[in-house]
Amino acid sequence: MKKQRLKAVALTTVLSASALIGSVAQADQTLNSILATGEQKTKIAQASQQQVDKIAEQTSSLLNDFKVVNKQIEGLRVYNGQLEKQIANQLEVISQLDESIENVTVMERQVQPLILKMLDGLEQFVALDVPFHKEEREQRLEMLRNNQERADISVAEKFRQVLEAYKIESEYGRKIDTYDDTLTVGGQEREVNILRVGRVALMYQTKDTQLSGAWDQRQKAWVELDSGEYRSAILKGIRVAKKQASIDVLRLPILAPEAAQ
């Protein structure tokens, strides 16, 4: 009887141990399942956080773009406002120009005859003046005369050209210069140096400095000078005109002015 009890106790103990081992195994399995689930949730949370961070970054970038665009829009509003003012001013200027163009047409009709009169006067003046740079001056007058017939040159430009010619002629009277020319001296053509002192005196001297002469405006001809008296003075004047000598008092042949008629 006693042995049977011991067997029963032993059997009960074995069953209890088996149940305990089964419970532990089941608990381990449950714990592993819980840990796996937790790890999966952690990965999902991390992925969600990354997505949230990405969305936040995109939102921040869009916000910055929005601010930049707003500033550009504000700048464009100011710029457009300024353009509107400029356009209004330009329309006013255009209106004034239209009126000026109408007036210019009337002025052209008056200026063109004036230009022709000025050109006639200049041609007459050159023809009666001391004959220095004769070819150059005549070519300038011919160019001005030809330009009067050209349609591609405005009246304003034609007027400017004639005024420029008057200015050049005026400058001749205030300067001293020298240039080479060919004159008939002693019955034969000779290479000479021309010396011009404003419009006061016009002289020549042969290249060998042996012969000298001056223009006589009354006779409208060249007259020979005493080489001994004026040779060195004319030579020095030529050097002064070429800037090869300093300016000094020159004793030159100057005709007395004619009485006004």
At how many degrees (to 10) do helices 2-128 and 155-172 cross?
60
Q: What is the pLDDT of residues 2-50, one digit of tens each?
A: 555 555 545 555 455 555 555 656 666 776 777 777 777 787 877 878 8
- The string of pLDDT tens digits covering residues 102-159 is 666 667 778 888 999 999 999 999 999 999 999 999 999 999 999 998 889 888 899 9
Q: Give CA–CA dist 86/77, Å, rounded.
A: 14
Please report the sign of the dihedral spanned by the C-alpha atoms of residue 232, residue 236, residue 239, residue 244: positive
**Sequence spans of domains, the chain:** 33-172, 176-256
Q: Pairing mode, if any, of strands 221-224 and 188-197?
A: unpaired
The pLDDT assigned to 19 comes to 53
Total-model pTM: 0.56
Is 50 exceeded by the pLDDT of residue 261? Answer: no
60 φ, ψ to 5°?
Answer: -65, -40
